[in-house]
Amino acid sequence: MESSYRSRLADLPVELKCEIAELPYQKGMRPSTKKNKIIELLSKYSIDFTELGTGTNRFIVKFEGYALKMALDNEGVADNKQEWVMSGPLEKGRAIAYEISKGGNLLMAEYAGAFQSYSEMYIYKNEILDILSFWNSKGFLLGDVGLTRVNYANWGLLPTGKPVCIDYAYIFPANMNLFECECSSKNIAAIDDFTGYKCSKCGKEYQDRELRMRISNQTRLELFNSVDGIEMRLPQEIHTVDDKYMKTNVVVNPDVISDDEVALRLAQMDVNNEGNGTWYKI
C-alpha cells in the first residue's frame, strides 16, 4: 500500500540541523550552555517553538505540535536512538517516537505534557501501574520509569487525558540476558512499584540502575542498527509499505493543539463524561 508521509525534521533547515549536531562534540560546554545555544540557533533560523524542558542529556521543545528532542551529548544521542528502538516493541503507554535523524541528534515524538509533581503523577497510579505491568510481562528491563518521586517528570498526559511515559530511554529488550543475580539465579522479578528487582532465590534486591549498568553505551547504539524505517529526504514523500504497518483507526486531526485548548477539551470531557474520544493526531 502506498501512503504519504510527512517529515517535520526535513522541514528544518539543514544548516540548523548541522549546527545542533555539532553540540555533542563540544566537550567543554555545560548542558545549560548548550541549551542556550540551541535556543539561539532556533531563533536565528526563525523556528517557532515552546520550551518544554532540559534533562542532563537532551533539550526538548514543542515544534508543530510534537516534542522535538535534541541531544546535548553522546548520551543524549543514545537516548534518542533508544526511544526510537523501543517505541514499537513497547506497543502502548509511551509517547510514540515518530522520526529520528540519521545521526540520532534529533528525535520527533508525540507530545504529552510532563507531570509537574509526584502528586500529579500519583493521580494516575492505577493506569501507570497497568502500563508498567504490561511491559514487565513482556520481559523488558524497566529503568527510570517506576512509580516513585524521582520519576514523575518521565511521565505525562496526552491531550486525550491518558498518561504515557515520555522518557523511556532506559527500557531495554528482553533478549539482553540482564536478569541474572550474583547467585547465578535468573529468577529476578520486579517489585510492586517497578523501581527495582528482587531475586526469588537469595532475596537480594537490585535497583534498576544496577542491572542496566551491565549494558555499555556502545551496545545501546548497536540496538539502533536492527530497526527498519522509511528514509525521507523531503518534507513530504510517498512510500510503499506493508499493510500490517498501516493504522486503520487514525483520525485526522489538527497537528498543532494549544495547551489552552487541551485544558478546555479535558474539562469538557470531564463535564460531559466523554473521556474515550480520540482527537490527537497519531
Query: What pLDDT is stored for residue 177 in this prediction?
Result: 64
Q: Which residue has the cell 460531559?
A: 272
- Other CB atoms within 10 A of residue 52 CB: 19
| pLDDT (0 to 100) of residue 83 | 93
Please write down the HEC assignment for all residues of 179-215: CCCCCCCCCEEECCCCCEEEECCCCCEEEHHHHHCCC
Whole-prediction pTM value?
0.79
Q: List, run by run, the mean pLDDT of 10-residue segments along the chain (282 residues).
A: 74 92 89 95 97 92 95 92 91 94 91 95 97 94 94 95 95 73 88 93 90 75 61 53 40 38 49 38 29
Q: How far is the C-alpha of 46 from the C-alpha of 49, rounded, in Å?
A: 9
pLDDT at 224: 63
Q: How many angstroms separate the CA atoms of 204 and 153, rounded? A: 29
Cα–Cα dist 142/135, whole Å: 8
Q: How far is it, in rounded angstroms, from Cα 45 to Cα 33?
A: 19
pLDDT at 271: 43
- H/E stretch holding 50: strand 50-54
